[in-house]
Amino acid sequence: MLKCTRTVITMGMVLLCSGSLFLYGCSSSPDEEQLKALQALKDETSQLEKQVKDLEAKKSELDKTIAEKNAKLAKCNADQEIVKQRLAK
């Protein structure tokens, strides 16, 4: 009985080990070239993200500048009207 149990345990272990090794050996993984291509793509994406961030910052700055210039122009036009009124008096 004891001998039988030991044999079953040993066989079980052998099956477990061989099954794991089989699974590991059968799964396919990308080669080095493919991994490099993926990394290059990631780098390019990262650079583009930075570029987008810079462009958005520039856009925000330009929007602000334009708003200031529009206000300046509006004030200048209003000033012209006031001067005309004062000259008419």
Partner 1 sequence: MKLQSALLMIVAVVLTLSVGLANAQEMTKEQWQQEINKYTQMRNDLQAKVKILGDGNNALTAQSTKLDADCEKCMDDLYALVGSDRQKAAAYSSEVEAAEAKAADLMRLSDADLMARSSEVTDLENKVKELWGDKLSLIPEFWDRLTALDTKVKSLKETLAKQVKVYTVGTWSKDRDCLWNISKKPDIYDNAWLWPRIWQGNRDQIKDPDIIHTGQMLKIPQGKEMTGEETAAAKKYYRKVAAKAAAAAEAAAATAPAAAPAPAPKPAEPKK
Question: Contact positions toward partner 1, by CB under 8 A?
Answer: 2, 6, 9-10, 13, 16-17, 20-21, 23-24, 27-30, 34-35, 37-38, 41-42, 44-45, 48-49, 51-52, 55-56, 58-59, 62-63, 65-66, 69-70, 72-73, 76-77, 79-80, 82-84, 86-87
Chain centroid to CA 70: how far? 36
Distance CA 82, CA 76 (A): 10
Q: Provide the minimum distance between the beta carbon of 37 and partner 1 in the complex, in angstroms, as a whole number.
A: 7
